[in-house]
Amino acid sequence: MVIWRLVRVLGLATLTGFSAVPSGAAEIVLADASATWHIDIRHHHAGSGELYMNETMGAGVAIFDYDGDGDSDVFFVDSNVLPGYTGPTPRSRLLRNDGPTRFVDVTDASGIEVTSYGMGAYPADIDNDGDFDLYISAFGADQMFRNNGNGSFTDISAQSGVDDPRWSTAAAFLDGDGDGDLDLYVARYVDFTLDNNKPCGLLDKGLRSYCHPDVYEGEVDSYYRNRGDGTFENASATAGITAVSEIEPGKGLGAVASDLDGDGALDVYVANDMTVNFQLQGKGDGTFEDVALFTGTAVSDLGENEAGMGIGIGDVDANGHFDLFVTHLDLQTNALYANQGSGIFADRRFVSKLGEPSLYKVGFGTAFADLDHDTDLDVVVANGHIIHNIEQWGNGSTYKQANQIFENLGDGSFAEAEAGLEAVRSSRGLALGDLDLDGDLDLLITNNDDRAEIYENQTRTGGWLQLAFVHPGHGLGYRVEVTSADAEQIREVVSGSSYLSQHEPIVHVGLDKANKVDRVVVRTPTGHRFALVNPPIDRRLVMSTARP
Amino acid sequence: MSVIRFWCVATLLCCLPSLLGAQAPSLESAIQLLESNQVDAGVAMLESLASQDPGSEASRILGVILFRNGQLAPAYPHLRAWTDANPSDRGTRVTAAAAAVQLGRVPDAEALLDGIPVTSGPAIRLLWAEIHYARNQPDKVLETLAPLANGSQPPAIDLQRRRLTARAHLLQGDLAGVRATLDGHTNGRPLLATLLAEAHYREGNVAKAASTLEPHVGAADIVPAVVKDLGAYLVQAGRHQDALPHLERAVELDPNDAASWQNLSRARFALGRRDEASVAATRARELQAQEKQGSFEELERLASLDDPVDAALKESQRLAENGDTEAGLARINKEIALVPNEARLHAAASRLLLELGRLDQAFEAADQTVRIEPERGDAWVHRGNVHLAQGNLDAAEADFRKATTLAPKHLAARNQLAVVLAAKGDKDGARTLLDAILNEHPDNQVARANLARLDES
């Protein structure tokens, strides 16, 4: 029997006297916190005019508690020097959360040196020792850093077996075979290298631009089985991942692990750029079958390939099933695939009013999140074009684009909210987490070759509850049902999603006017269940089993 | 298409009196054949006359006849030949402009309409609206068409006015504008129904989108989008059983439509017909894998609007690079049919034919390049390359020498000339050429490789 215990309750001290504020139609308010939180991070694409394709894809950000002190830290991915580049040396950075609103750069002490051209950051406990290790997807060999448990990391890229030199982008950890450790899915993009860089764009008009992904071939994704000791074997063929690419490999930019069909086994969804998306139905034994073309998540509502970038996941219509939101290129519109619960998804991009406002945007990072604690999930989208000189193409598009927040109106539709996302840059990564431990979700946005944005959520809202898991596996893949007076909410501790980024791996629910939670039921991917009855609210509950 | 027919009928009627009074006996014979319903023979005779004398009356009549039959691509060069020779013939210029718009040759259409005021008539407004639409300028479309909304217009004009207005509103995202334009006006007009249905769908009303199209299913042969879109909407609405016959009809009408195969797989899967769903899904993926554009398609279309030849060359190059040289050649030939005197196209055709090993045809294309642009070194290099491939070393040498005479610094000409000289045993001559190239361009890899081969031989 697995014994769960509550190891920590956060929020009691800091939030004494905090009471639930009836939200009604609370206005979402975000405020730039870069200066006050001491976060001054800039991404470098390290280009020199050669227009290498990787320069325009940006990089991600991850929120996770690397030092186990209860608050989440931040890791920003940066690139690396490309031929001809003469600017400041790019460096991925780890920022430690030293109490509310103060972040300190601890990259040197951490020992994390990203030597590849970094793309995404994915934390997970690969060796089941209770702390977060860190996987870096890259243009070039991927890297794995083992957490030493004392605030430092060791580069174990070679021995971990995941240092594939092909261009990787998104990744997701999941216990795909139910053996209690976390396996790894890695989405690959295209076979572009610095040596096969092709001239693209409107060359006859003197407008050289970054290439369309169709100029290059897609790459087969990877599935790595954890041997149980934090090293991995490439199980792509036996898992059925190689077969998925038989007709055509994908060009993955987004990936997430989630139990989409509710059968208890984790599935993987991959957003591909101008090739069909994959919905890999997990069998629970480490094998997968692509069912996207049947379920309706492979292509657009009208059956056409789209430029899949980022992924949002959550039960946006509160029907008990996880829905998908996929961001796309301009002139395509972002897609909301609403899970009908019968293995079928309906494309509700226009019904939801999420499609039309994205027509002239290029969407990347995204998230479903209850920003105003009214119990339903709102949508955040980070936007920015990939063609750096698109203004000169003369079609009205811009490279820098405003980011968007859509408030869930509770009737299946959304309305764009003026929430304070004022900066206009070419955004890529997006991660959400409660960085100041005040009960609501704050935002981190990365921008290509530009400074990152940090937004504190200042929405005056109703009650809330957060659940964080320590051991085993920090709860990645756990499904949580929260029942309160007015709502029944399901959430998941999600690995992956968004774009090259990792949201804080916790469960966060808004409670609106409810002054108590009746019950919390947690289901693990290995089939265990446990429940909390009448847990305290307006708190973060930290759960763990005994460590081995 | 109605605009096209409107103009072609008008133009043909206005030219008939002069046709009947034509003096040239062969032209008269052609007209007599047409009048006696021997259309094929009459057209063949006109083609012969037009090829002998481009820009003659035969070109005009042939262009109009082909245009009236919806054969826009073959019609266009004849109409252009006539209007180039007879710029004062406004009627035929408008006809040619209508063809140009439909063929995506927006700058040509604008040039053909130059000097013809938009106030000349409803059809001119429609043509300008088409041009603004092609240039992604919905505001101008609406501004141009606004006067036509007042008062009653002939059905053909009304149809096109509503179609373009609705499309402009769709481009703007003004879905209420689409409804205001089309509500109550789709009866017997399946094309308009597809636009109204799209507006309902984009407003989130899937059921209304489907019900808008359902009365028009019988018109699927004329407007296949009716069953394709209806099937897609019904799948979105979860009405998989209802969607099935429409999607099966859609893939029957267009077996290469990946989207309909995809939706068909979804409908079959939802109905428990998994094996059949797999067949449709596999077909969809195969087609989707073939649909690679290699470009930001819509963005590049807008950017290339002013140079359709360049757009054709790029598309051809992409197809060839993707391994489908025949398709690349077909794209070039399609453009040559529209613009027969564009040397870039013949040169590209020559290259592709050479790649395909069709040397005689490659020579014809290269020879055409030389005829069109005899003063350009490139043209001679293309023809020299074909001679070289055919083993005609003397002819190749002559062409490469001609190229170097026209363009003394032409790298390809000098490199190829060196290859020919080497093949003919004149190693010193070849070495002198290659050394000169490398002296000027030390990084020229072709010359370096040729020199290495020369040293080895």
Per-residue pLDDT at A12 = 40
Query: Does the structure show a pLDDT above 50 at B9?
Result: no
What is the mean predicted confidence (pLDDT) over A32-42?
A: 94
CA distance B7 to chain A (A): 31
Residues of chain B in contact with residue A396, where contact means CB-CB under 8 angstroms, are 136
Q: How far apart are CA B399 and CA B377, in angstroms?
A: 9
Percentage with pLDDT > 70 across chain A: 95
- Look at A162-176, A409-423, B329-343 and tell me which has the smallest mean pLDDT: B329-343
CA distance A292 to chain B (A): 9
Nearest CA in chain A to B239: A346
Torsion of CA A234, A235, A240, A244, to 10 degrees: 0
Beta strand pairing call for A539-545 and A463-469:
parallel
Nearest CA in chain A to B265: A294
Interface contact B204-A413, CB threshold 8 A: yes
Interface contact A296-B203, CB threshold 8 A: no
Which residue among B238, B274, B302 sits closest to A346, beta carbon to beta carbon?
B238
B270 touches chain A (CB under 8 A): yes
B307 touches chain A (CB under 8 A): yes
Interface contact A294-B232, CB threshold 8 A: no
Q: How far apart are CA B245 and CA B92, in angstroms?
A: 45
Residues of chain B in contact with residue A355, where contact means CB-CB under 8 angstroms, are 202
Angle at A235 between CA A231 and CA A238, to 5 degrees: 155
Query: Beta-strand (E) ranges in A77-182?
Result: 93-97, 103-105, 117-124, 133-139, 143-147, 153-155, 168-174
Beta strand pairing call for A323-326 and A335-339:
antiparallel
What confidence category does residue A205 fall into, taking pLDDT thresholds of 50, 70 and 90?
Answer: confident
- Residues B235-289: pLDDT tens digits? 988 899 999 999 999 999 999 999 999 999 999 998 999 899 999 999 998 888 7
Residues of chain A in contact with residue B292, where contact means CB-CB under 8 angstroms, are 214, 274
CA distance B362 to chain A (A): 26
SS in 3 state form for chain B? Answer: CHHHHHHHHHHHHHHHHHHHCCCCHHHHHHHHHHHCCCHHHHHHHHHHHHHHCCCCHHHHHHHHHHHHCCCHHHHHHHHHHHHHHCCCCHHHHHHHHHHHHHCCCHHHHHHHHCCCCHHHCHHHHHHHHHHHHHCCCHHHHHHHHHHHHCCCCCHHHHHHHHHHHHHHHHHHCCHHHHHHHHCCCCCCCHHHHHHHHHHHHHCCCHHHHHHHHHHHHHHCCCCCHHHHHHHHHHHHCCCHHHHHHHHHHHHHHCCCCHHHHHHHHHHHHHCCCHHHHHHHHHHHHHHHHHCCCCCCHHHHHHHCCCCHHHHHHHHHHHHHHCCCHHHHHHHHHHHHHHCCCCHHHHHHHHHHHHHCCCHHHHHHHHHHHHHHCCCCHHHHHHHHHHHHHHCCHHHHHHHHHHHHHHCCCCHHHHHHHHHHHHHCCCHHHHHHHHHHHHHHCCCCHHHHHHHHHHHHC
CA distance A487 to chain B (A): 26
Residues of chain B in contact with residue A295, where contact means CB-CB under 8 angstroms, are 266, 269
B282 touches chain A (CB under 8 A): yes
Tokens standing for B46? 């006109």
Interface contact A215-B294, CB threshold 8 A: yes
- Our measurement of the distance from residue B164's CA atom to the centroid of its chain's CA atoms, rounded to an integer in Å, reads 21
Q: Of A212, A281, A300, A317, which to mutate for an interface test with B (greatest number of B Cβ within 10 Å)? A: A212
Per-residue pLDDT at B296 = 62
Tokens standing for B219? 């018109």
Interface contact A298-B293, CB threshold 8 A: no
CA distance B211 to chain A (A): 16
DSSP H helical segments within A296-393, as ranges?
none
Angle at A289 between CA A284 and CA A291, to 5 degrees: 120
- Residues A480-490: pLDDT tens digits? 999 998 789 99
Which residue among B266, B286, B303 sits closest to A394, beta carbon to beta carbon?
B303
On whether the CB atoms of residues A118 and A80 are closer than 8 A, the answer is yes
What is the mean predicted confidence (pLDDT) over A532-543?
A: 93
Tell which wins on pLDDT, A237 or A206: A237
CA distance B259 to chain A (A): 4
CA distance A387 to chain B (A): 10
Residues of chain A in contact with residue B266, where contact means CB-CB under 8 angstroms, are 293-296, 344
Residues of chain B in contact with residue A205, where contact means CB-CB under 8 angstroms, are 303
Query: Does the structure show a pLDDT above 50 at A16?
Result: no
Residues of chain A in contact with residue B140, where contact means CB-CB under 8 angstroms, are none
Interface contact A390-B299, CB threshold 8 A: yes
Query: Does the structure show a pLDDT above 80 at A440?
Result: yes
- Residues B119-150: pLDDT tens digits? 988 999 999 999 999 888 899 999 999 999 88
CA distance B289 to chain A (A): 6
Per-residue pLDDT at B311 = 81
What confidence category does residue A547 fall into, taking pLDDT thresholds of 50, 70 and 90?
Answer: low
On whether the CB atoms of residues B417 and B440 are closer than 8 A, the answer is no
Nearest CA in chain A to B319: A215
Tell which wins on pLDDT, A423 or B151: A423
| Average pLDDT across chain B, whole number | 87
Interface contact A346-B173, CB threshold 8 A: no
H or E, element range at A522 = strand A517-523
- Residues B400-450: pLDDT tens digits? 999 999 988 888 999 999 999 999 999 999 999 999 999 988 888 888 988
Residues of chain A in contact with residue B258, where contact means CB-CB under 8 angstroms, are 303-304
B352 touches chain A (CB under 8 A): no
Interface contact A247-B265, CB threshold 8 A: no
Interface contact B285-A276, CB threshold 8 A: yes
Q: Of B106, B234, B279, B299, which to mutate for an interface test with A (greatest number of A Cβ within 10 Å)? A: B299
- Residues B65-108: pLDDT tens digits? 999 888 998 899 999 999 999 999 999 999 999 999 988 888 89
- Residues B152-205: pLDDT tens digits? 888 999 999 999 999 999 988 889 999 999 999 999 999 999 999 999 998 888
Distances (CA, A) of A275 to A253, A344, B291: 11, 20, 10
Q: How far apart are CA B259 and CA B268, in angstroms?
A: 14
Per-residue pLDDT at B305 = 66
Query: Does the structure show a pLDDT above 90 at A155?
Result: yes
Per-residue pLDDT at B400 = 94
What confidence category does residue B300 fall into, taking pLDDT thresholds of 50, 70 and 90?
Answer: low
Q: How far apart are CA A417 and CA A409, in angstroms?
A: 11
Tokens standing for B271? 């109905």
The set of residues, in sequence order, having a beta carbon less than 8 Å from that of B247 and lying 6+ positions away, is B227, B228, B231, B235, B260, B263, B264, B267
- For chain A, helix, strand, coil in percent to 5 are 10, 40, 55
Per-residue pLDDT at B67 = 92
Per-residue pLDDT at B18 = 46
Per-residue pLDDT at B263 = 93
What is the mean predicted confidence (pLDDT) over A72-100?
A: 95
B363 touches chain A (CB under 8 A): no
Torsion of CA A41, A47, A52, A54, to 10 degrees: -10
DSSP structural state of residue A472: T
On whether the CB atoms of residues A375 and A486 are closer than 8 A, the answer is yes
B235 touches chain A (CB under 8 A): yes
Residues of chain A in contact with residue B262, where contact means CB-CB under 8 angstroms, are 293, 298-299, 303
Interface of B with A in 154-213 (CB under 8 A): 173, 201-204, 206
DSSP A238-300: HHTHHHHTSS----EEEEEEE-TTSSSS-EEEEEEBSS--EEEEE-SSS-EEE-HHHHT-SS-
What confidence category does residue A422 fall into, taking pLDDT thresholds of 50, 70 and 90?
Answer: confident
Kindly tell me the number of DSSP H helices and DSSP E strands found in chain A. 5, 41
Residues of chain B in contact with residue A304, where contact means CB-CB under 8 angstroms, are 258-259
Residues of chain A in contact with residue B270, where contact means CB-CB under 8 angstroms, are 294, 342, 344
- Residues A512-526: pLDDT tens digits? 989 899 999 999 988
- Residues A370-383: pLDDT tens digits? 999 999 999 999 99
On whether the CB atoms of residues A446 and A471 are closer than 8 A, the answer is no
Query: Does the structure show a pLDDT above 70 at B4?
Result: no
On whether the CB atoms of residues A173 and A232 are closer than 8 A, the answer is no
Query: Does the structure show a pLDDT above 50 at B10?
Result: no
The closest alpha carbon to A277, from A300, A257, A261, A258, belongs to A300
- Would the pTM of this model clear 0.95, i.e. be above it? no
H or E, element range at A110 = helix A107-110
Percentage with pLDDT > 70 across chain B: 91
Beta strand pairing call for A200-202 and A323-326:
unpaired
- Look at A433-447, B13-27, B357-371 and tell me which has the smallest mean pLDDT: B13-27
Burial B347-371 (b: 16+ CB within 10 A, else e): bbbbbbbbeeeeeebbbbbbbbbbe
Edge-first strand listing for the sheet containing A335-339: A311-314, A323-326, A335-339, A345-347
Per-residue pLDDT at B202 = 87
